[in-house]
Amino acid sequence: MSNAMKKEKKREPRFHIVKRESLVWYKAMSIRVIAILLALVVCGIITTITTGINPLNVYESMVAGAFGSTRKTWITFQNTSILLLISLALTPAFKMKFWNIGGEGQVLIGGLASAVCMIYLEGKVPNAVMILCMIIASIGAGMIWGLIPALFKAKWNTNETLSTLMMNYIATQLVAFFVILEEVPKGSGKIGIINQNSNSGWLPQLFGSKYLLAIVVAVIITLFMAIYLRYSKHGYEINVVGESENTARYVGIKVEKVIIRTMMLSGAICGLAGLLLVGGINHTITTTIAGGEGFTAVLVSWMSKFNPFTMIISSLLIVFMERGAGEISTNFGLNHSYSDILTGIILFFIIGCEFFISYQLQYCKKTEKSGKEEA
């Protein structure tokens, strides 16, 4: 490699990089689509190598895994809406350049709060009151989990990437503590389905479908976030702080206040996602209930350029990949981490293609002048 570099140094570089002014949206979109297609081709090739199945069958079983039956389709949409919710939660923080990678912990602590309500309030209060308590508790818990790093950041400019990360592990250990405290049966190390007989604290089903609630909540939050970010004063302040803190201070925005407020919102929505996971979907709590989605959501939010509506497509794509790869790994006896590899490959392509959207390569013509210089 160093040899090639040396050679290039002597010669005139063949091309150079120029920043683009802006790209028409359909061109930018088509670059992204090409990148995703390329990534799918690479994934197909890798799957063919590892499993030896026909590449076309790879895609077929991926689609079958995500949309093969009514139930599978519903679950795909339900997972998408949870991922979407967490991505939406992280977005306002990212917009002000606050790298909140603590979505995982905020979801967990929200889930823990609602599990605590479900266990300790069973039979003591009517169901409606209990659900109200769960909503308040989980949103509040998520809020606190977002607030702590935000306070540090606002006051002492503590590195938020690492502090939110540490908050994840603290939340994980709290959940582990609670699980052992309340394990059923004793010594099993897990809680099992909470309130299986009374169903108290289980979030209601909408229109007779148990999958619909998460989807409806996600749609509402998407609309809310789109309006909040684009049309509200708060959204504008977040934008200014993200672009330049000094400008924000100059025009009289209280940066600390914006950071704290935005992170509380961020944590609150994550807590809501935790509530849906525990109260609406799983009816139990484990340390892995967030399933790494807090990290995936960072990528979803970023690759959608913080646009709530694009996030719907991005999170659907990621969930599709996860479930598709899951299907392949079940069918061919592969390890379940296979989906992580495929997701990783897709992400690399999407990350890479952004370059071609914001920069362009210009080929240099060989000039007389450089020729002379060499001679």
Partner 1 sequence: MWSFLLAFIPRAIVQGIPLLYGCTGEIITEKSGNLNLGIPGVMYVGAISGVIGSFVYENGTSRMNPFLAIAIPMFCCLLGSLLMGLLYCFLTVTLRANQNVTGLAMTTFGVGFGNFFGGSLIKLVDSDVPSIALSATSSYFSKSLPFAEKLGWFGKLFLSYGFLAYLGVAIALAASYFLNRTRKGLHLRAVGENPNTADAAGINVSRYKYAATCVGCMIAGLGGLYYVMDYACGVWSNNAFGDRGWLSIALVIFTIWRPNVSVLASFLFGGLYILYLYIPTGMEHMEYQELYKMIPYVVTLVVLVVTSMRSKRENQPPASLGLPYFREER
- For binding to partner 1 (CB under 8 A), which residues are involved? 5, 17-19, 99, 101, 152, 156-159, 161-163, 165-167, 169-170, 173-174, 176-177, 180-181, 292, 295-296, 298-299, 302-303, 333-341, 343-345, 347-348, 351-352, 354-355, 358-359
Residue placing its CB nearer to partner 1 in the complex, 158 or 331: 158
Q: Rounded CA gap, 300 and 284, in Å?
A: 26
Q: How many residues does the chain have?
A: 375
Residue placing its CB nearer to partner 1 in the complex, 114 or 343: 343
**In the bound complex, what is the minimum distance in angstroms from residue 63's beta carbon to partner 1?**
21
CA dihedral 291→196→116→167, nearest 10 degrees, is: -10
Per-residue CA distances from 334 to 46, 67, 208, 327 (Å): 13, 20, 36, 10
**In the bound complex, what is the minimum distance in angstroms from residue 252's beta carbon to partner 1?**
25
The C-alpha angle with vertex 171 and arms to 229 and 271, in degrees rounded to 5, equals 35
**Host H or E run for residue 8:** helix 2-10
For residues 279 and 127, the answer to whether their CB atoms sit within 8 Å is: no
Residue placing its CB nearer to partner 1 in the complex, 202 or 338: 338
Residue placing its CB nearer to partner 1 in the complex, 157 or 197: 157
Total Cβ atoms within 10 A of residue 244: 11
**In the bound complex, what is the minimum distance in angstroms from residue 339's beta carbon to partner 1?**
7
Judged by phi (left if over 0) then psi (alpha if -120 to 50, else beta), residue 307 lies in beta
For residues 84 and 319, the answer to whether their CB atoms sit within 8 Å is: no
**In the bound complex, what is the minimum distance in angstroms from residue 369's beta carbon to partner 1?**
21
Residue placing its CB nearer to partner 1 in the complex, 129 or 176: 176
Residue placing its CB nearer to partner 1 in the complex, 57 or 158: 158
Residue placing its CB nearer to partner 1 in the complex, 60 or 340: 340
Residue placing its CB nearer to partner 1 in the complex, 211 or 349: 349
Which tokens sit at 22?
């802006």
**In the bound complex, what is the minimum distance in angstroms from residue 108's beta carbon to partner 1?**
13
Q: Which residues lie closer than 8 Å to 57 by C-beta, 6 or more apart? A: none
The backbone torsions φ and ψ at residue 206, rounded to the nearest 5 degrees and listed phi first, read -95, 130
The C-alpha angle with vertex 30 and arms to 26 and 32, in degrees rounded to 5, equals 120
Q: Rounded CA gap, 297 and 103, in Å?
A: 8
User: Amino acid letter at 123?
Assistant: G
**In the bound complex, what is the minimum distance in angstroms from residue 111's beta carbon to partner 1?**
16
**In the bound complex, what is the minimum distance in angstroms from residue 155's beta carbon to partner 1?**
8
**In the bound complex, what is the minimum distance in angstroms from residue 109's beta carbon to partner 1?**
13
